[in-house]
Amino acid sequence: MRFFRLWRRQSPRTSGSPWKRFQKEGLPKKRGSSPGTFSWTIQGPVSSQARIGVQCWCLGVQTEAVSNQFVVTGPQYPDTVLATVAVGDRPSAVCWNSVNNKAYVANRTSGSVTVIAGMSNGIVTTTAVESYPAAILYDSAHNKVFVANSGSRSVSVIDGASDEVVATVDVGAAPLDLAYNSVNGKVYVANNGSGANSVTVIDAAGDSVLTTVGTGQRPRAVAWNPTANKLYVACYSSNEVTIIDGVTDEVLATADVGWNPCAVVVAPDVNEVYVANSGSASNTVSIIDGNSNEVVESVQVGPAPCALAWNDLSDKVYACNEDGNSVSIIFTSSHQVANLTVGTGPAAVLWAPGVNMVYVANGGSDNVTILNGVSNAVEKTLVVGDQPQAFGWNGTNQKVYVANYEAGTVSVIGSSQ
């Protein structure tokens, strides 16, 4: 009888890191048989500095060996900065054109949109829009890009094939956010300017205003719920969410939330809406039931939650706590919260659906933290440009676009394998 014990560790032997025993296997051997080859599955996590050590006993004699350093691989995901693309001044928002495989970057102080090729990462063109573009949205049904120009009370409409502006739609003061209703073909514009207190509803096919709906004070963020066909408007100064019917464009209800709601995300599978209340008196996320329009719970998160993302596969919502240097992970099934330390000043979060990874832009430390969507573990931290503040996801090439606000660049993150 021969016995084998197998250990593995993450780094070279000289580092002093401990060995981890993870398997013991008894292997019978007949007298006179030749030596065999035995295999083990090397357990994760992914590592470029793994070794294995083997101890063997035969008739009371022990021998051992240590392997050379090797790589333990896992599922591929974007984990390396492949390119840094110079764009316009203060890029503040990104979207991806799934039909033509292009990324669009809104350059806030340049009054332009930079178009990046999804395959090569090269610049296709730069399209002039109006002043201070603050939000950008892609409509795959009509192959159009909508750009909210916060300094000119307008939305520029860009053709996804030609990258030319085909229409300019007048909206309210200081449009700051956009949402798309794929059922009724509408684009919603949050008008955040003083006294505007409204959402403009645009017909995506005709590029014309259907109506303007009054909301609470200083609408900051909008999100559409495909399960209930409702729009949710986070009103920063009145501490409420205005809920609008997706068919009639009428206000259905107003839900009181915490102080200074600034972000909203929908979890359609459970028909719930999550609202980040950034005011220091709150530091909470309010959860609204999509059927009743009522707040069912408010969960405590870290200081100054400012951005949200929903993980469709693992049923979690992520909240960036800008003043807490952390991310709160909310489990949609129980509303329980787990907190995880990331970089300084996390300002944006993206869930990458093709790989089930979560990307956090740390605006104060100029890096991106990558979280595992299943285990919540920090997989990697990547250095990017100065003050990363927005993300885009390329589902065809599995790339993450990071808008570096102060650097005037976009970091393109892709797989190293």
| pLDDT tens column, 309-337 | 999 999 999 999 999 999 999 999 999 99
Residue type for 298, please?
A: S
Query: pLDDT-based confidence at 55, cuts 50/70/90?
Result: low
Q: Read out DSSP for 234-270?
A: EETTTTEEEEEETTT--EEEEEE-SSSEEEEEEETTT
- The two three-digit tokens of residue 83, written as one number: 């390119």
Residue 187 three-state SS: strand
CA 277 to chain centre: 19
Mention every residue, 6+ apart, whose C-beta is less than 8 A from residue 203.
Answer: 185, 186, 209, 210
Query: pLDDT-based confidence at 39, cuts 50/70/90?
Result: low
Query: pLDDT-based confidence at 192, cuts 50/70/90?
Result: very high
- pLDDT surpassing 50 at residue 3: no
As a whole number of angstroms, the distance between CA 164 and CA 145 comes to: 10
Mean pLDDT (the chain) is 90
- The answer to whether the bond into 45 is cis (omega within 30° of 0) is yes
CA 292 to chain centre: 28
- The two three-digit tokens of residue 346, written as one number: 């996390």
Query: pLDDT-based confidence at 364, cuts 50/70/90?
Result: very high
Lowest mean pLDDT among 16-20, 140-144, 297-301, 321-325: 16-20
Query: pLDDT-based confidence at 35, cuts 50/70/90?
Result: low
Residue 36 DSSP one-character state: -
Whether the CB-CB separation of 23 and 38 falls below 8 Å is answered with no
- pLDDT surpassing 70 at residue 107: yes
Mention every residue, 6+ apart, whose C-beta is less than 8 A from residue 165.
Answer: 127, 128, 129, 156, 157, 158, 159
Residue type for 357, please?
A: M
- pLDDT surpassing 80 at residue 69: no
Which among 313, 304, 319, 301 has a CA at the least distance from the CA of 264?
Answer: 319
Length of the chain equals 417
- The two three-digit tokens of residue 186, written as one number: 């509408």
In this prediction, residue 7 carries a pLDDT of: 53
Quick: pLDDT tens for 147-160. Answer: 999 999 999 999 99
Which among 238, 257, 145 has a CA at the least distance from the CA of 192?
Answer: 238
As a whole number of angstroms, the distance between CA 144 and CA 280 comes to: 38
Quick: pLDDT tens for 210-251. Answer: 999 999 999 999 999 999 999 999 999 999 999 999 999 999
Cα–Cα distances in angstroms (integers) from residue 66 to residues 19, 57, 375, in the given order: 11, 15, 30
Residue 346 three-state SS: strand
As a whole number of angstroms, the distance between CA 306 and CA 363 comes to: 12
In this prediction, residue 67 carries a pLDDT of: 74
CA 70 to chain centre: 32
Quick: pLDDT tens for 249-261. Answer: 999 999 999 999 9
In this prediction, residue 34 carries a pLDDT of: 52
Q: Give the whole-number percent of the chain exceeding pLDDT 70.
A: 84
Burial of 98 (0-12, 13-18, 19+ CB in 10 A): middle
Higher pLDDT: 201 or 33? It is 201
- pLDDT surpassing 90 at residue 180: yes
In this prediction, residue 38 carries a pLDDT of: 55
Cα of first residue to Cα of last residue in the chain, in angstroms, is 41
Quick: pLDDT tens for 117-131. Answer: 999 999 999 999 999
In this prediction, residue 388 carries a pLDDT of: 98
Burial of 64 (0-12, 13-18, 19+ CB in 10 A): exposed
Mention every residue, 6+ apart, whose C-beta is less than 8 A from residue 357.
Answer: 77, 78, 351, 370, 371, 372, 373, 379
Whether the CB-CB separation of 78 and 411 falls below 8 Å is answered with no
In this prediction, residue 354 carries a pLDDT of: 87
- pLDDT surpassing 70 at residue 307: yes
From the CA atom positions of the chain, what is the Rg in Å?
Answer: 25
Q: Give the whole-number percent of the chain exceeding pLDDT 90.
A: 81
As a whole number of angstroms, the distance between CA 70 and CA 89 comes to: 43
In this prediction, residue 27 carries a pLDDT of: 41
